[in-house]
A and B are shown apart, each in its own frame.
Chain A
Amino acid sequence: MIRDIFIFLSVLALFSAVMTVFARNLVHSILYLILCFFAIAGHYLLLNAEFLAIVNIIVYAGAIMVLFLFAVMLLNLNKTKRITLSRISLFAAVISGGILLLVFVAAIRKNTYMVNPVSLGSDFGSVKFLGKILFNEYILPFEISSILFLSAMIGSIILIKKEHR
């Protein structure tokens, strides 16, 4: 049964990813991507990464994608401009992407991965567990990421400001 859930979620993720790339309408693309994020959140739940799943939905699907929608709506990018995309581009993209996939698969084909039999209990992936690790070993990157956010905010505001003649 787990396997079925896994396959279902994977197909959903892949399908929505493909639709993201090939949808004509911009808003449709964004919505398909949101669907993809939900599928991936489902995968996280399968792996008992509860925290990641929720954060994925809240931050990615909830904040970042909404930000995308805001940008699209505010700039009025939704007007259908028929951008004719060239066939050559499609062929080049698909072929190179395909070859990339092939190379990746070839790379991992012969590998066998050791699964660590150590059982960590069912709280593995819970907020408490991750929080303990995060605030004990990774406190420094945590703090620095705050500076990262600060710089991103300042950067984007500065970029947006209109010059006063």
Chain B
Amino acid sequence: MLLALIVLLPLAGYLLLTFAGKYFPRSSGGLLASLLVAISFLLSMGAFFMTRQHGMFVTGPFSWIDTAEFRASFSLQADSLTLVMSVMITGVSALIHFYSIGYMKEDPLINRFFSYMNLFVFFMLLLVMADNYLLLFAGWEGVGLCSYLLIGFWFKNPEYAKAADKAFIINRIGDLGFLLAIATLYITFGTLKFADIQTQLQSGIGVNQMTLITLLLFTGAVGKSAQIPLFTWLPDAMAGPTPVSALIHAATMVTAGIYLVIRSRALFMLSPLSMHVVSAIGIITALFAASIALRQFDIKKILAYSTISQLGLMFFALGLGAFDASLFHLLTHAFFKALLFLCAGSVIHGLHGQQDIRFMGHLKEKTPVTFITMLIGALAISGIPPFSGFFSKDGILAAAQQASPLLWILGLGVSLLTSFYMFRLIYLVFYGQYRGETGSWDPIHESPRIMTTPLIILAILSVISGLINVPGLFGGGEWLGNYTGLVQVMREGDHLTEWILMIITLLAVSGMILLARNRFTGKDIPEVSATTTKPIGRLLTGKYYVDEIYQAVITNPLARISDTLYSFVELKIVDALVEGVGATVSYLSRIFRFLQSGSVSFYLFFMVVGIILVLVLNLFM
């Protein structure tokens, strides 16, 4: 019952705002939506405190599909993993809802915005609370849909609408893998419930089958969490309003892929090949995206690539078997990435729509609250103690080091790039000289309190959330790992080595921050004012031209094939066939029309003929 309430409150918000939205005055729609999500958050916290270590909430099962061959039920379960996720989802969503009340205040379609946001929260909660793969997939699809609706919220701009299409279609490609995985799961296990599959795993399933299933599941995760090669939708998705980017593309939807892998960890652990694939794609994506972020000039795009990179790190950890480190990083990342996005939104709001960092600078004077919170977020993502990012990244790096020193070096590389581009952003936006148009300095203002309060709350969370899983290295209890039962046994490493590596990491990261300060403050910043750039710079700014490659190799040939099919098959064959039927009927009717001659003797004659025929048929049959 409690679970149903948590899940259904946002749905109620969606329905109310959709069907009765025009009766709500402009401001109250947002307030209603935010309050509903906040109540869900409180209920999730309540459920969380009720269960503690053990115990699990179950709601249902409500029969959904019930045929002789296939049965799927609509039932929810909330074990510790789910409860942690749902607390995070509802909490961050509530904060972002309140933020959006201020951010979207002038938009005429604000009630529709909040209805979509509520619908999104509903689907995301359904996703994490499902107790079988099919219901999870339903939530999966639902968040994809809401992502489409919200990215293309300002649909009158065709570019934004195209970005929304791109997100949905690329997601779909991943979903195909997920669907195939569901089918294979059903064929192998005969059921789709997590619990039943867990029990069946003990009887031994072939490695090849496990590899197939897990690779297919991972394909779905790649699409949803924007890894290589299905990542190109995320930067374009920045076309949506900033709260959307914060909610969907930082904290919740993109983490659905991670959640899926963690939920199916028993399956993944049975297939070493899949684990290697997950790790490899994770770390490659992390490095790739971080390098692109070095040379982007749109504040939201930098954060988008940063998200892709951090998700890559999470998958990297998953592939190494460090599920608890990955989940920890997911949670801390949700806090500080949402914080960063909301701060970016605050900056954009304050500058009345400017998003290019080449035209910002010296903003710490005008927007102090935004400045301080964004700085906290940047420190957290760079992994500076005692902020949360430090603890979560350390978990990942320690797991990497245990697997192989090379992987640790790669992970370190990602961290260095992360801190560099993050502080590049901070310095270019808040320090130095203001580079905007003359006359636009004065109207810049700090955001209203309804927007800065969530920033402050998220900043506090970014600071203290490291405490939930302090590793044993520092004498902490690893509470999160123990609570969710994800602790990996293999992580007992040599303490001394760990300390040494940690200090090396810290020093390197701090070095990068100072390097960034050197380059990006001061009078003349080369990359902002230079007119020509070196080829590497152009490559990075152009995002390695991946979009263009996809367009040329995939999209254009498909479009041409579709045109050919249309002009040849559709017009000449199918249309001819269908119209041919009509033409034949007309032709035959023209022939048989003479039977309606109007003369009665004619009819009588045919009646007699008919009787003769009937008699003959009867007699000689």
Contact = CB atoms under 8 A, between A and B. Distances in A.
> Touching in the complex, A and B, CB below 8 A?
yes
Interface of A: 89, 92-93, 96-97, 99-100, 103-104, 106-107
B619 A106 contact: yes
Interface string B202-217: 0000000000000000
Pairs of residues from A and B, 9 with the lowest C-beta to C-beta distance, nearest first: A103-B615, A96-B608, A107-B619, A100-B612, A99-B612, A103-B612, A92-B605, A103-B616, A96-B609
Contacts of A97: 608
B464 interface: no
Nearest to A101: B612
14 contacts: A89-B601, A93-B605, A96-B605, A96-B609, A96-B612, A97-B608, A99-B612, A100-B608, A100-B611, A103-B615, A103-B619, A106-B619, A107-B615, A107-B619
A92 B615 CA distance: 19
Contacts of A96: 605, 608-609, 612
Contacts of B601: 89
Contacts of A107: 615, 619
Nearest to A97: B608
A7 to B, nearest CB: 28
A99 B611 CA distance: 11
B615 A104 contact: yes
Nearest to B601: A89
Contacts of B608: 96-97, 100
Main secondary structure of the interface of B (DSSP, over half): helix
Contacts of B616: 103
Contacts of B619: 103, 106-107
Nearest to A104: B615
Interface string B587-621: 00000000000000100010011011001100100
Contacts of A89: 601
Contacts of A106: 619
Interface of B: 601, 605, 608-609, 611-612, 615-616, 619
Contacts of A99: 612
Contacts of B615: 100, 103-104, 107
A107 B605 CA distance: 21
B614 to A, nearest CB: 10
A107 B615 CA distance: 9
A106 B617 CA distance: 13
A68 to B, nearest CB: 19
A114 to B, nearest CB: 21
A104 B608 CA distance: 13
A100 B607 CA distance: 11
B598 to A, nearest CB: 15
B599 to A, nearest CB: 10
Contacts of B609: 96
A107 B612 CA distance: 11
A96 B611 CA distance: 10
A144 to B, nearest CB: 28
A96 B612 CA distance: 8
A61 to B, nearest CB: 26
A104 B616 CA distance: 9
Nearest to B620: A106
A107 B620 CA distance: 9
B51 to A, nearest CB: 84
Nearest to B607: A96
Nearest to B609: A96
A44 to B, nearest CB: 27
A97 B609 CA distance: 9
Nearest to A106: B619
A59 B113 CA distance: 91
A92 B601 CA distance: 10
Contacts of A100: 608, 611-612, 615
B556 to A, nearest CB: 71
B597 to A, nearest CB: 13
A55 B243 CA distance: 103
A107 B616 CA distance: 9
B593 to A, nearest CB: 20
Nearest to A89: B601
A93 B607 CA distance: 12
Contacts of A92: 605
A99 to B, nearest CB: 6
B480 to A, nearest CB: 94
Nearest to B599: A89
A164 B615 CA distance: 49
Contacts of A103: 612, 615-616, 619
B595 to A, nearest CB: 15
A100 B612 CA distance: 6
Q: A92, A93, A96 — which one has the most chain B CB atoms within 10 A of its CB?
A: A96
A45 B605 CA distance: 35
A72 B378 CA distance: 115
A101 to B, nearest CB: 10
Nearest to B613: A103
A155 to B, nearest CB: 21
Contacts of B605: 92-93, 96
Contacts of A104: 615
Nearest to A99: B612
A99 B615 CA distance: 11
Nearest to A86: B601
Nearest to B605: A92
Nearest to A100: B612
A104 B611 CA distance: 11
Nearest to B618: A107
A41 to B, nearest CB: 28
A73 B611 CA distance: 35
A145 B46 CA distance: 88
A92 B616 CA distance: 19
Contacts of B611: 100
B618 to A, nearest CB: 9
A97 B608 CA distance: 8
A96 B615 CA distance: 13
User: Of A92, A100, A103, which is in contact with the most chain B CB atoms at under 10 Å from its CB?
Assistant: A103
A77 B97 CA distance: 97
A106 B615 CA distance: 10
A38 B601 CA distance: 29
Given A100-B615, A103-B612, A103-B619, 4 more contacts: A96-B605, A96-B608, A100-B612, A103-B616
A103 B609 CA distance: 11
A53 B251 CA distance: 106
Contacts of A93: 605
A149 to B, nearest CB: 27
A108 to B, nearest CB: 10
A96 B619 CA distance: 18
A92 B605 CA distance: 8
A134 to B, nearest CB: 32
A106 B616 CA distance: 9
A145 B499 CA distance: 117
A90 to B, nearest CB: 11
A71 to B, nearest CB: 19
Nearest to A93: B605
